[in-house]
Chains A and B, each alone.
Chain A
Amino acid sequence: MGAQSVGTAGAGRPYALKAKKRGLKAFKITAAALWLVICIFPFYWSIVTSLKPLNEIMIFSLWPKSPTWLNFKDAFLNKDLVRAVFNTVGVTVAGMGVNIAVSLLAGYAFARIRFRGGKAMFKIMQASMMLPFAVMFIPTYIVLARFPLVGGNNILGQGGYGFVGQETQFLGIILPSCVSVYNIFFLRQFFLTLPNELGESAKIDGARELRIFALIYLPLMRPAVATLAIFTFQSGWNNYFWPYILGQGQYKVLTIVLRQYYTAIAPDHGVAMAFNLIITIPMILFFIVFQRYFMSGLTAGSVKE
């Protein structure tokens, strides 16, 4: 009997292991499926809501009984939509262009040029890298409103509206996004990974620093720039806080227009959801096209630590 039990134990162990493995796998699949549903459901629900006619919205059903495009029609007829797309893309691309150009130059110098004071300057910048915009948005507003010689201001920054006036506020929205210590840091790290010899040999040939930068190193920076551009575009498309604070909701970007549906006295959920999808779907398509850059860009940020 003793021998028998030993025998079964010996034979049973692989079975037990297999069962355990199968159990683990089943658990994994269930958990992943559950989260998948949680991830997708809000999107599904906004599609369903946007396709429901007004009289169905408050009645619960998992799909529209008589689907209609009326909500989308209303959303597309919103006179602010075209203006908002134009504003959002314009402000984002302008800020992004300046930001990346400025960061490339600075990142290159901090990585490759051994100039006096450079290290100290970089340290000062780095110290501010972790500060959230939340701690300085009020004084940034003051700086922009009191900027000398702009928007009716005199040399001391008095008398006008600076960059927060009606005509100049788009510049006020762009300017703070023109510099990002994180981007400088990110590009500097990237420049450091490129081999030194490339520039050295060119220097012997008597090339100027700017030529070395533009002709030798810049082409190699394409993947890093693509990553930054994609993330900057994403955050620009989604940005709400700064355009709202600066323009008090007057400067129409997509998120501000979306929010207006909810600050209305009686929000029309169907149209609001349709508008929400109109601004969300382009971002999802953008992600699917560039997903390789998204994934590698996210991790590049953490590896630097």
Chain B
Amino acid sequence: MEKQLTPRRRPVTKMQRKTDFTGWCFVLPAVLLFFCFILLPIVISVVTSFSDFNGINKYEPWGFHNYVEIFTRDITRFRKSILNLGLYVVLFVPLNIFLSMGLALLVSKRTKTNKYIRMAFYIPSLTSGIAVASVWAWMLNPEAGIINIFLSSMGIPKVNWLNDPNIAMVTVVIVALWNGCGANMVLYVAAIQGVNESLIEAAKIEGAGAFKITTKITIPLLRPITFFVMTTVFIGAFQLYDTVVMLFPSGGPQNSALTPIMAINRAINDGFLYGRASAMSVILLLIVSALTFVLQKLNKETY
């Protein structure tokens, strides 16, 4: 700990030593827990990914074998899950931002009614993925589900929401949008309400209409919040599990809804391949780190 100290000329006073002691005492519980349940797992992940660890008694170094296996004989379909994740992100991120920003623009004015509408918009974000998906699985049921009944009453052919490999990820995105837009809308509302009133007043005097004010002033000023939403949505995408496992318990038709977590779980449940599972975790870790790095860079450049 002392090593991190920058070279300082003056000797360490007794006072400083006392402060150091107090400080470390305060953070000690947090540091211990952080070490056990965040740092250590990451280290174990990296180390065991280069071994044939089976979780119990086998542990031989295996070099890059696990990584090579993932790229050649991908038995748990991890690569497919990453592609699914990519598709999910491509569909979900723009739609989510568009919807939550749009909803926020609709109800951002500070009125009593809007407050209640906003609360109602947030309610779908309250419940667990399991509860959300249980209702949606029932509504999307190909035969008795209300959505297909509604569609066919409008003359639109039934959609096979839960059994069509081309539709599976669309289904996931629809449910995730219903589940996720409310929370992001709240963020946008706060940001819109924070837009400087005098800017808008000035634009009004210049003769700008409501539409122009929205597109030329409000939306550009929402850029930081959009980056924040993007970052959280990207990272959230890696956690995708509850809703999907409820809608597609075994990863969907032809693994079309398999998520990375499900693929990692397969490696454990089907063959105690802890080493393989760790290698997948490490790949995810690298992707997440690269993504957040790029997003933060982009965010900084816009200022």
User: Which listed segment binds A: B70-78, B165-173, B178-186, B197-205?
Assistant: B178-186
Q: How far is the CA of A255 from the CA of B128 in the complex (A)?
A: 8
User: Assuming the A-B contacts A128-B39, A134-B239, A143-B44, are A116 and B1 also in contact, with contact meaning beta carbons closer than 8 angstroms in the complex?
Assistant: yes
Q: Specify the chain A residue showing the minimal Cβ separation from B114.
A: A32
Q: How far is the CA of A263 from the CA of B139 in the complex (A)?
A: 17
User: Assuming the A-B contacts A105-B30, A238-B129, A258-B131, are A130 and B288 also in contact, with contact meaning beta carbons closer than 8 angstroms in the complex?
Assistant: yes
User: Assuming the A-B contacts A31-B106, A262-B137, are A143 and B129 also in contact, with contact meaning beta carbons closer than 8 angstroms in the complex?
Assistant: no
Please tell me if the beta carbons of A298 and B274 are within 8 angstroms of each other in the complex: no
Please tell me if the beta carbons of A139 and B42 are within 8 angstroms of each other in the complex: yes
Q: Mark A275-297, 1 if CB is under 8 A from B, else 0.
A: 01001100110011001001100
Residues 140 to 196 of chain A near chain B (Cβ within 8 Å): 140, 142-143, 145, 175-176, 178-179, 181, 184
List of A residues within 8 angstroms of B2 by Cβ: 116-117
User: Assuming the A-B contacts A130-B292, A280-B127, are A139 and B44 also in contact, with contact meaning beta carbons closer than 8 angstroms in the complex?
Assistant: yes
Please tell me if the beta carbons of B38 and A299 are within 8 angstroms of each other in the complex: no
List of B residues within 8 angstroms of A125 by Cβ: 34
Q: How far is the CA of A279 from the CA of B210 in the complex (A)?
A: 43
B52, chain A: closest CB distance, angstroms: 14
User: Which listed segment binds A: B21-29, B60-68, B87-95, B154-162?
Assistant: B21-29
Q: Is A36 an interface residue (CB 8 A)?
A: yes
* Interface of A (DSSP majority class): helix
Please tell me if the beta carbons of B102 and A130 are within 8 angstroms of each other in the complex: no
List of A residues within 8 angstroms of B37 by Cβ: 140, 143, 175-176, 178-179
A108, chain B: closest CB distance, angstroms: 6
Please tell me if the beta carbons of A130 and B235 are within 8 angstroms of each other in the complex: yes
* Interface of B (DSSP majority class): helix
Please tell me if the beta carbons of B239 and A117 are within 8 angstroms of each other in the complex: no
Q: How far is the CA of A270 from the CA of B122 in the complex (A)?
A: 26
Please tell me if the beta carbons of A109 and B27 are within 8 angstroms of each other in the complex: yes
Please tell me if the beta carbons of A114 and B138 are within 8 angstroms of each other in the complex: no
Q: Specify the chain A residue showing the minimal Cβ separation from B21.
A: A115
List of B residues within 8 angstroms of A2 by Cβ: none
Q: How far is the CA of A118 from the CA of B210 in the complex (A)?
A: 50
Q: How many A-B residue pairs have CB under 8 A?
A: 273
List of B residues within 8 angstroms of A280 by Cβ: 126-127, 131
Which of B21, B211, B288 interacts with A131 by CB under 8 Å? B288
Q: Is B215 an interface residue (CB 8 A)?
A: no
A139, chain B: closest CB distance, angstroms: 4
Q: Specify the chain A residue showing the minimal Cβ separation from B3.
A: A117
Please tell me if the beta carbons of B190 and A36 are within 8 angstroms of each other in the complex: no
A171, chain B: closest CB distance, angstroms: 12
A295, chain B: closest CB distance, angstroms: 6
Q: Is A28 an interface residue (CB 8 A)?
A: yes
User: Which listed segment binds B: A4-12, A41-49, A70-78, A221-229?
Assistant: A41-49
Q: Is B196 an interface residue (CB 8 A)?
A: no
List of B residues within 8 angstroms of A181 by Cβ: 34, 38
List of B residues within 8 angstroms of A240 by Cβ: 128-130, 241-242
B18, chain A: closest CB distance, angstroms: 9
List of A residues within 8 angstroms of B292 by Cβ: 130
User: Assuming the A-B contacts A121-B27, A136-B281, are A255 and B40 also in contact, with contact meaning beta carbons closer than 8 angstroms in the complex?
Assistant: no
Q: Mark A23-64, 1 if CB is under 8 A from B, else 0.
A: 010001001100110111011011001000000011010000
Please tell me if the beta carbons of A299 and B190 are within 8 angstroms of each other in the complex: yes
List of B residues within 8 angstroms of A42 by Cβ: 124, 132, 135-136, 139, 178
Which of A113, A261, A288 interacts with B26 by CB under 8 Å? A113
B16, chain A: closest CB distance, angstroms: 7
Q: A117-B1, A273-B134 are in contact. List 14 more A-B contacts (CB 8 A).
A: A28-B106, A38-B178, A42-B135, A60-B149, A130-B292, A133-B239, A138-B274, A142-B55, A213-B26, A237-B128, A259-B130, A276-B134, A284-B127, A287-B119
Using CB atoms and an 8 Å cutoff, list the residues of chain A in contact with chain B: 17, 20-21, 24, 28, 31-32, 35-36, 38-40, 42-43, 45-46, 49, 57-58, 60, 101-103, 105-106, 108-110, 113-118, 120-121, 124-125, 128, 130-140, 142-143, 145, 175-176, 178-179, 181, 184, 209-210, 213, 234, 237-241, 245, 255, 258-259, 261-263, 269, 272-273, 276, 279-280, 283-284, 287-288, 291, 294-295, 298-299, 302, 305
A-B residue pairs, 10 tightest by C-beta: A115-B23, A238-B128, A109-B26, A106-B30, A179-B33, A139-B41, A139-B44, A299-B190, A136-B41, A113-B23
